[in-house]
Amino acid sequence: MNKADLVEKIAQGAGISKAAAAKALGAFTTTVTKALKKGDKVTLVGFGTFSVVKRKARNGVNPQTGEKIKIKARKVPKFTCGKALKDAIKK
């Protein structure tokens, strides 16, 4: 499913126009992004939690040359599924 498909499903499910659904989805993604950038967690009970985790610096290998490289520490987004979402997928 791509963004256009998701917008269409949201519009159908909520009984709103595709334009309104696209605007709502855009507002959601923008809000989650800003919250994560500030270091906050976004928790949707039953669905899951968006958070930021820190990855340590580590050594890696360039697969093309076999050369050892240093990978810098960085922050990355993480999503953890909620129980209701896990249970819904199992069925």
Q: Evaluate whether the domain defined by 41-91 bears CATH number 3.30.930.10.
A: no
Q: What is the number of other CB atoms lying within 10 angstroms of the CB of residue 52?
A: 15
For residue range 34-71, list pLDDT tens digits in order. Answer: 999 999 999 999 999 999 999 999 999 999 999 999 99
CB 88 within 8 A of CB 51: no
Q: β-strand 48-55 against 74-81: which pairing, if any?
A: antiparallel
The pLDDT confidence band at residue 90, using thresholds 50, 70 and 90, is confident
| For range 82-89, the mean pLDDT | 93
Domain boundaries, the chain: 1-39, 41-91
